Amino acid sequence: MTQNSIRFLTIGRLAVLAVAIFAISTQVIAQDGWTLDARSVPPPAAVSKELHDAIAGAPKPDAATQWGMIPDNDDGWRAMQNATAMMPLDPMAEQFGVSVEKKVIAGVTVFAITPKEPSTAHADHVFLHVHGGGYVLGGGNGSATEAIMAAGTIGMTSISVDYRMPPDHPFPAAVNDTVTVYKHLLKSHDANAIVIGGTSAGGGLAMAAVHRFKELSLDVPGAIYAGTPWADLTKTGDTLFTNEGLDRVLVSYDGLLDAAAKLYADGTDLKDPLLSPVYGDFAGFPPTYFVTGTRDMFLSDTVRTHRKMRAAGVIVDLNVYEGMSHAEYLMVAASPESRDMFTGLGAFLKQHLP
């Protein structure tokens, strides 16, 4: 066989391979999706013993039993809310070395949380915290738990907003309550000395509130903490599908999340940036600290928002934890991952707040 024959044969094989790849690509594009075989997923090996053991000891996530029956009337939602609203805060406050005082600011209930050993770096700073819970749960005393952890770990005074929730107070009540408390804080603090944030719906609400601050021509805060934010109330992000049944906290979008989104929105388009902040304009947003995990169903919400902020020129810090489900740094509070997250947030705030 001549060299020219070999060369033409090689070119011919490459051409056939290219056609085959194109055909496969065309076939994949035409599919609605992939049905994957059942897989065995072990507890993550490259995590702390505390997180590994917590995951290994947890039952297999099951959407059918995880959430039970979704309330079919307003009284049912209120009963779910009341079940966690009266949790005791004193043991947690003692553990994290803070004092907690319930107050009312311009008609909005808040919890003022003061560290017993405040950080000198944060003496003039305040954390405006908004709680998670899908906009329908996590209120009352429960609204202060993450703020207690943050205040004690970072050493920063925190104001946690116990915002109104549906069914009695759907969107935009939560945004309006956050704006009210922020305006009050602006009377005693420069905007750049305030960090706003929270986890899950709290992270989404924090970003939605900053969209609203911009609409009202208010100075934006000095920083945002977006812990695995619910930045898109539509069922869009890739990991809502790929991590379904693996995320031991959220488990599935279908069920409580879907019901909560519709209850909170109360008929408003779910792509409204004050509901789903990822669809808004991030120009002029302050430095933002993102947290998520590799098993988190909101991993896509987090990275999509991170990329969009980067494109808008915002300073962003994305922190992805191995093996972590949605907001698991709050659930396994004694883990090194949890301590690392709050320590990292504190360092970020020292860098970006004056």
Phi, psi of 104 (to 5 degrees): -125, 125
Alpha-carbon span 299 to 228, nearest angstrom? 7
pLDDT band at 218 (very low <50, low <70, confident <90, very high): very high
Name which of 22-26, 210-214, 309-313 the model is least confident about: 22-26
pLDDT at position 9 is 40
Q: Identify the DSSP state of 326.
A: T
The verdict on pTM exceeding 0.85 is yes
Mean pLDDT over residues 216-233, rounded?
Answer: 98
The tens digit of pLDDT for each residue in 280-304 reads: 999 999 999 999 999 999 999 999 9
Name which of 36-40, 52-56, 136-140 the model is least confident about: 36-40
Give alpha helix (H) positions in the chain. Answer: 3-30, 49-56, 63-66, 74-85, 90-96, 145-154, 173-186, 201-215, 239-242, 256-265, 299-311, 328-331, 336-352
pLDDT band at 25 (very low <50, low <70, confident <90, very high): very low
Torsion of CA 149, 273, 218, 187, to 10 degrees: -30
Evaluate if residue 12 carries a pLDDT over 60: no
Mean pLDDT over residues 324-351, rounded?
Answer: 96
pLDDT at position 7 is 45
pLDDT at position 39 is 81
Evaluate if residue 57 carries a pLDDT over 80: yes
pLDDT at position 253 is 93
Contact in structure between 183 and 112 (CB atoms under 8 Å): no
